[in-house]
Amino acid sequence: MQYRRRGAADYRFRQYYHPIEAATETEIRAVQETKLQSTMSYLATHSVLYQNKFAEAGIEFSAIQTIEDLEKVPFTVKQDLRDSLAAQPPFGQHQAAAYEDIVQLQASSGTTGSPAYVALTESDIVSWSEMSARGFFAGGIRPGDLVLHGFSMSKGFVGGIPCQQSLQYMGAIDIPIGADGGADRLLRACADLRPRAIIGTPNFLLYMAQLAPEVVGCQAHELGVERLVVGGEPGGGIPAVRNQIEEAWQAKVCEAMGGTDLGVIYRGECDEQDGMHMLCQDHIIVELIDPETSKVIPFEEGTTGELVYTAIGRQASPVVRFRSGDHIVVTGTSCACGRTGPKIRCFGRTDDMLIVRGVNVFPSAIQDIVVSMTPQTNGVMRVYADFDGHTTQKNLKVLVERGEQSNAKQDPELIAEVTTKIRNALAFKPEVIMVAPNTFEKPGVQKVALTVREKPPIPELE
């Protein structure tokens, strides 16, 4: 296992981490289709899940030669992987490497059900480290940097050990405290060690900044941090949230994106801050589909859709045409940085989406509005989904923390203003309920869940 890639320090002054990031569409296609054909041959002899899937669909592995041929293949969805894991523990029927070659296990957060467990060979770990290094590099982290680790280090989350491995691999030095160590300890380490960068979820890094005067006796921006690479939840791509974080730390925020089933990070934002590039097209083939029709659509600026991924070259736990559930908008197909991978913003997940009187609503869009209204509000909100499923004909209850200095007597006016802004921007009328500042638990190890199902114990709902 490579703790640090050979010649890691030489990458410090490169424009890109890997040439594929700036390759032409023709060059990328040639790499992808060669690896796709090898992957199909590998799955034909190593993956029970895909042997069964292809047989049921009446498809020969040898028939999948081009990217367009992938459209013949049925999608893989989360439930397929859950069923696979249940049928053949511990790694499922999609375990495509010999057990003795598996050297690591990772797990998803389990926010939509039981955690998904994935297996990795030594080769897979190097691939994950390579992909994530590209994401960190795009976000401004360089070999030799001290990096404070603000993602959770526990529970097998990919934001933990795999991120640490990736930073080591690229030649940065990880400070492995993690969100589990608490905001206090992270801030003290920040004051003691003066890292150039911090990685973590956006809401948690904002919370750390708010605590800095109390814990270390100075403002967060006095700690010398220059780069913040965020991911794991909405926020980094929401302008109002990003602006708050950048103002608090006086540091540039770049967003990164990945997932347990494909890798830690495979999308990353450059200094242009206009969306996340696909950085790893030699490891993953990505398609954009219309979630309503399931048809493939082109990556064109302004287009929205759902991302579908196929791992190429993966040995253990590979997936083909995996529906990520990530709903995105394409922010551009070219960039001043020279990277050629289309840029995207993720505005929600299938699991998060609510349908309110026929209107699709993503809680992250409501959060954007509430954050933009600080200091009148505290920038904190939760959707209280007091109904079964994801559809309601009632007004959606939106709980909003009033600002620290706001007077509760002015709640009616503030409620009316929030209601109007949401209705105008998102085409539905909410039932806004104003609650006291700091009603909701501060960000920590877990991702912030913007939708709550259990009735919160707050007087305003009685």
For the CA atoms of 132, 137, 142, 145, the dihedral, rounded to the nearest 10 degrees, stands at -50
According to the model, what pLDDT value does residue 109 have? Answer: 60
For the CA atoms of 368, 180, 326, 130, the dihedral, rounded to the nearest 10 degrees, stands at 120
Closest Cα partner for 346 from 281, 452, 268, 280?
268
Helix axes 48-57, 25-46, angle to 10 degrees: 100
d(CA 313, CA 127): 9
SS3 290: coil
SS3 400: strand
Tell me if 152 sits within 8 A of 181, measured CB to CB. Answer: no
Beta bridge partners, 297, equal 288
Beta bridge partners, 227, equal 197, 252
pLDDT in tens, the chain (462 residues): 568 999 999 999 999 999 999 999 999 999 999 999 999 999 999 999 999 999 999 999 999 999 999 999 999 998 899 899 999 999 999 999 999 999 999 987 654 456 778 999 999 999 999 999 999 999 999 999 999 999 988 777 888 999 999 999 999 999 999 998 999 999 999 999 999 999 999 989 999 999 999 999 999 999 999 999 999 887 788 888 899 999 999 999 999 999 889 999 999 999 999 999 999 999 999 999 999 899 999 999 999 999 999 999 999 999 999 999 899 999 999 999 999 999 999 988 877 878 887 777 888 889 889 988 999 999 899 999 998 877 888 899 999 999 998 898 999 999 999 999 999 988 889 999 999 998 988 876 567 788 888 888 887 776
Tell me if 416 sits within 8 A of 449, measured CB to CB. Answer: no
CA distances (Å), origin 380, targets 111, 158, 437, 450: 20, 26, 8, 9
Closest Cα partner for 204 from 239, 167, 248?
248
* Number of other residues whose CB lies within 10 A of the CB of residue 459: 7
The rounded mean pLDDT for the chain is 92
Residue owning tokens 């199902």: 453
According to the model, what pLDDT value does residue 195 have? Answer: 98
Domains of the chain are 1-275+313-322 (3.40.50.12780), 354-461 (3.30.300.30)
Sign of CA dihedral 230, 348, 300, 308: positive
According to the model, what pLDDT value does residue 259 have? Answer: 87
Output the CA angle 249-250-252, nearest 5 degrees. 95
CA distances (Å), origin 147, targets 8, 34, 193, 409: 16, 36, 10, 45
Q: In which region does residue 426 sit, left (phi positive, over 0), alpha (psi from -120 to 50) or beta (all else)?
A: alpha
According to the model, what pLDDT value does residue 114 have? Answer: 64
d(CA 343, CA 274): 7
d(CA 378, CA 284): 40
Q: What is the DSSP letter of 5?
A: -
CA distances (Å), origin 351, targets 13, 131, 199, 389, 432: 40, 26, 25, 10, 23
The DSSP annotation for 334-354 comes to: --TT---SPEEEEEEETTT-E
According to the model, what pLDDT value does residue 127 have? Answer: 97
* Number of other residues whose CB lies within 10 A of the CB of residue 273: 17
Closest Cα partner for 320 from 28, 29, 26, 57?
57
Output the CA angle 408-414-420, nearest 5 degrees. 160
According to the model, what pLDDT value does residue 214 have? Answer: 96
User: Radius of gyration of the chain from Cα atoms?
Assistant: 22
Tell me if 147 sits within 8 A of 175, measured CB to CB. Answer: yes
Closest Cα partner for 65 from 44, 96, 41?
41
The separation between the first and the last C-alpha atoms of the chain, rounded to the nearest angstrom, is 57
Output b/e per residue, 74-104; b: 16+ Cβ within 10 A: eebebebbeebbeeeeebbbbbbbeeeebeb
